């Protein structure tokens, strides 16, 4: 199983706001930045959020990230059909000296 814990699935209707959680520990999320990736079907992952809550240029402000303690969240507002994808959280783990990923959350837009 993955070091970071995400719900396997999430869903929402167009226009809704959905959040995806990512739970870790003191050796990863508790002390290091969290990153989020979006993977559309059949494509490579794309950076969505870096350093907890920063958006790369070109990422809509409908996407936002936050962190508190050993957990983090990705929020998507004004949900669109094109947001249907797999979402992964990631962080550095000081104990493992390794990048660790969450297991991924499949977002379905109903």
Partner 1 sequence: QVQLVQSGAEVKKPGASVKVSCKASGYTFTTYGISWVRQAPGQGLEWMGWISAYNGNTNYAQKLQGRVTMTTDTSTSTAYMELRSLRSDDTAVYYCARSHDGRAPWFDPWGQGTLVTVSS
Least CB distance to partner 1 at residue 13 (A): 26
* Least Cβ distance, residue 109 to partner 1 (angstroms): 21
Rounded CA-CA distance 40/38 in Å is 6
Site for partner 1 in 50-89 (CB under 8 A): 50-51, 56, 88
Q: Report the C-alpha gap between 24 and 103 in whole angstroms.
A: 12
For 77, what's the count of Cα atoms within 13 Å in the CB-facing half-sphere?
6
Q: C-beta of 38: minimal distance to partner 1 in Å?
A: 11
Asked if 48 and 76 count as a contact pair (C-beta separation under 8 A), the reply is no
Q: How far is the CB of 98 from partner 1 (least distance, A)?
A: 6
Pick from 17, 99, 108, 110 the residue near partner 1 by CB under 8 A.
Answer: 99
Quick check: 100 binds partner 1 (CB under 8 A)? yes
Between residues 14 and 99, which has the closer beta carbon with respect to partner 1? 99
C-beta of residue 37 within 8 angstroms of C-beta of residue 90: yes
Residue selected from 32, 38, 64, 71 as contacting partner 1 according to rule CB under 8 A: 32
Cα-based distances in Å from 82 to 30, 47, 78, 107: 32, 16, 11, 10
38 is an interface residue for partner 1 by CB under 8 A: no
């Amino acid at each position: 199983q993955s070091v970071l814990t995400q719900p396997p699935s999430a869903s929402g209707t167009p226009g809704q706001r959905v959040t995806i959680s990512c739970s870790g520990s003191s050796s990863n999320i508790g002390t290091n930045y969290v990153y989020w990736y979006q993977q559309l079907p059949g494509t490579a992952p794309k950076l969505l959020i870096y350093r907890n809550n920063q958006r790369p240029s070109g990422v809509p402000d409908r996407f936002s990230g936050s962190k508190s303690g050993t957990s983090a969240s990705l929020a998507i507002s004004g949900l669109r059909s094109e947001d249907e994808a797999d979402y992964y959280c990631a962080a550095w783990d000081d104990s493992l000296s390794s990048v660790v990923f969450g297991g991924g959350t499949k977002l379905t837009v109903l």
